Structure formats: C-alpha cells, structure tokens
Amino acid sequence: MPSRNRCTALVLASAALVLTLPRSLPADEPIPPARPFEPMVYQARRAKLMKALGGGIAVLYARGEEDADGYRQDADFYYLTGLNDAGAVLVLSPEERAFKERLFLKPRDPDDERWTGVRPDIGDSLRRTTGIERISRTSALGGSMMGLLQTTGTLYLISDPGGPDSPDRPEMELYGKLSSKLPGVSIKNRTDLLPALRSVKEPRELDYMEKAIAATVSAQHAAAQAIRPGVEENWVAGLIDLEFKRGGAVRPGFPPIVGSGRNSTILHYPEHNQTIAAGSLVVVDIGSDYGHYSADITRTYPADGHFTPEQRKVYDVVLRAQQTCMDMIKPGVYFDDVHRKAEEIIRAAGYRDYFIHGLGHFVGLDVHDSGLYRKPLQAGMVVTIEPGIYIPEKSLGVRIEDEVLVTQNGHRLLTAALPRDPDAVERMMRKE
Ligand code: GLY
Ligand code: MN
Ligand code: MN
C-alpha cells in the first residue's frame, strides 16, 4: 500500500488527474480492519460466565446470518469465542475437572468450500485463537453431552435472541432430546447472565466502538457535503459505505438509512430510491461495524443547507429533548425514566403523537445490543439517545441520535465529534 506522502506526490504530479477525480475518492490511507482480541479475552469472559452459572452445562449454538457482506456471527457466540464460523457449538461445563470448555465445528466440505470459502480446520491454530483446548466436529456433540450429563443433571439456556417462545432454538431441541433420554435432567433459564456481562463494556471494546464511531462521523461528514436537491439518496448511501471502508469497517453495523422528504418520517427506510427534493429534510441514520462492534448515529440535514423556520422549530424540540435526556445519564438511573422525560418535553411542545419509538437502546456487538433495560444503568454501559419527531402529512421527520457512555460520575458523549447544533449542521453542509 503506498504511503500517504507517496499518494500526495502522485496526485500532485498529475494536475489533470486531480481535476477529473470526484471529490469523494479517498484522500487518506484506509485504516486496516480490526482483528479479534487475544484468546485470553474470550477465556476470561467464559470463565466469568461459568463462575456465575456455578455448575451444570450450557450449550450455545452459533446462529449468525449470511448477508451481502458474508457470514456475520451472532453476538453472544462471538463475545465468548471470537470465532466467525457458521454452525459451531460451544459447550461450557463449569463442574468438569479437566475440560470445562468444548467447541464443536460443523464438518468441512471441500466441494462446498470451493463456492463459499475455506473454513477453519481443527488444530493448534484454532486452539490458539479461541483458547479452547477441546475441539471436535458437531457429529460428536450428542455423545459428549451424554458423557457430561453423568456428573450433572442441569442444562442451562444462556442465549435467547428470539425470546422464550422462539421456535428456532437449537439448544432447546437438543435439551429436549437429552431430557427425554435422561429423565432426571432439568432445564434452567439463565438468559440474564450474558446481557449483564455484554452490556458493561471492557476498555478494548470501547476502543473498537470509538473506531466504529470515527468511521461513522466521517461518513456523516461525507453525507452532509453531498446532500443537496437533485442528488440521489442512493448516491449518499454509497459515499457513506466508502467512508466506512476507509475507516476500517468491513461492513455496516445495520442497513444504512438515508431518507429524504416523506422518507424522513419512515423509521427504518431501507430503499434509497428517491431523489432529494428542494426544501426537504434528509434523515441519515448510519453505523459502521469495526471488529464486530457497531456505531449508531443519526443526523437530520436540510436539503438546501438551511432549515426552514418550521423545520428548525421541530429540530430544536428534538435537540432539547435529547440534551435533557443525555444530561440525566449516570449510574443508577433507569432508562424508562429517561424515556419518559423525552416524552414530557415533546408533549409540552405539542408533538407527542409524532414521537413513536423508544428513546434509545444499548449498543455494542449488536446495534440493538444485549442489556437489561429494567435494571439501573451502570458505569461502562453505552446507550443511544435518539428522540425523533415524524410528521408524515408534512413530510417532515427529524431524528438526532448519539451514543453515550455511562461513567462512574455521569456520562461521556462518545459521538461529540459530530455537530448537533442546527447552525453547526448547516455549516457542516457548506461546500467551502
Ligand atoms: N439505526 C437503528 C436505530 O437507531 O435504532
Ligand atoms: Mn439507534
Ligand atoms: Mn440509528
């Protein structure tokens, strides 16, 4: 990869080339993508979880999803292993004497891998990256479980992405089969443990989250510079993607939202198939994924670079609600109370019926991250604060979303590098 100086020299050497380059091409070298953490990080997390379980057996299936950017591991599994392989199974058995952690990988298929990519082999390299000594194929899972159940009769459910009645829970299918063979076995729910662990971020996680935020801030700047009447929403989305990649993100943390005019009032508008019209607002809700950690930042831009008086009036209400809610964030506070404060402010301004979603959420490995909303906030948690007012009949939607870290004494605004004040947003859009 050429150094920045060499890049600069090459560009300066060809004035003609410079003149024909679109403004959006990268001027700086891209940041390399993240690596998984050291194996001891995942080991320590598993040890904490096992200590909290105190005994029994917990099985966790990897149920990530394939999308346009490839396989993305499910967050609970990634949090405990750093492994991005589909079809893997983790078994934790805290009471076992020698091997408390076992990993099972689905069989390799050379023909399949010629189409979809090479999967990890079982060997020392995988033992080193996961820190797990006992690795075998999923065909051995049933036999291993029968062996482990000779010393304990408790099976713990530890991950519950689909809710208690979700049908696609392979753990419950396995547990059902095992308990029908071994009648003394009991199944217990400890799906509270991983949210409690995952929601309090380690410093290394915050480092990755801040890198995801930095790429997202750059992408918001690129969007602000590109937005004007006549530009396609889709073009803005493309520029955002380029900035994500330049910032070391291999993919977005969630499908980007670039909604103009009426689309600014559609909360998760995915299509990006409209042309930005004069006088409209554009809601840009985006987050890059750096090392599996997602950012989540929304800004609302006036297409012409200036808010109309009515747009600014609504913007000011949303900003005031956001700032008041942010000011409340500190350890011990209940998120519900913060949400209620936003409702109160928006109601007093006359827009209560146009605030139709929750105030925010935990953010981390998942954009809507694991966490216990009914418990008070703790230092180390990261939440979004994202009030919005959406008036479809006026094609007027405003959302402002930022990420806040709960600290020992209060909070820190992680997304402070990106302006929120309406005058500053207008300045950011000026092509000067
Ligand atoms: N980007 C989805 C959300 O803000 O929750
Ligand atoms: Mn959000
Ligand atoms: Mn968002």
- The CATH number that domain 39-198 falls under is 3.40.350.10
Query: Residue 386 CA: which ligand 1 atom is closest?
Result: 4
Distances (CA, A) of 390 to 107, 270, 283, 298, 325: 50, 17, 11, 14, 19
Ligand 1 in reach of 386 Cβ (< 6 A): yes
Which one of the ligands is nearest to 360 CA? 2
Q: Tell me the helix, strand and coil percentages in the chain, rounded to 5.
A: 40, 20, 40
Identify whether the C-beta of residue 10 lies closer than 8 Å to the C-beta of residue 2. Answer: yes
- Does 401 sit in the ligand 1 pocket, CB within 6 Å? yes
Rounded distance from Cα 83 to ligand 1 centre (Å): 26
Q: Is 296 in the pocket of ligand 1 (CB under 6 A)?
A: yes
pLDDT at residue number 115: 85
Q: Is the CB of 366 under 6 A from ligand 1?
A: no
> pLDDT (tens digit, 0 to 9) for every residue of the chain, 432 residues total?
233 333 333 333 333 333 444 444 455 788 889 989 999 999 999 999 999 999 999 999 998 888 888 888 999 999 999 999 899 999 999 999 889 999 999 998 889 888 878 888 888 999 999 999 999 999 999 999 999 999 999 999 999 866 555 656 889 899 999 999 998 999 999 999 999 999 999 999 999 999 999 999 999 999 999 999 999 999 999 999 999 999 999 999 999 999 999 999 999 988 999 999 999 999 999 999 999 999 999 999 999 999 999 999 999 999 999 999 999 999 999 999 999 999 999 999 999 999 999 999 999 999 999 999 999 999 999 999 999 999 999 999 999 999 999 999 999 999 999 999 999 999 999 865
Q: Do domains 39-198 and 200-429 have the same CATH topology?
A: no
Superfamily of domain covering 200-429: Creatinase/methionine aminopeptidase superfamily (3.90.230.10)
The span from the CA of 281 to the CA of 261, in Å, is 6
The pLDDT score that the predictor gives to residue 119 is 85
Among 216, 254, 299, 398, the mutation site with the greatest number of ligand 1 atoms within 8 A of its Cβ is: 254
* Ligand 1 lined by 254 (C-beta under 6 Å): yes
How far apart are the CA of 182 and the centre of ligand 1, in A? Answer: 44
Domains in the chain: boundaries? 39-198, 200-429
At residue 270, the pLDDT reads 87
**Nearest alpha carbon, ligand 1 atom 5:** 368
CA–centroid distance, residue 152 to ligand 1 (Å): 42
What is the Å distance from ligand 1's center to 216 Cα?
A: 13
| Token digits of residue 166 | 């979700």
Q: What are phi and psi of 404, to 5 degrees?
A: -125, 130
Instruction: State the DSSP string of 230-265.
Output: T-BHHHHHHHHHHHHHHTT-SEESS--EEEEGGGGG
The distance of Cα 228 from the centroid of its chain, to the nearest Å, equals: 29
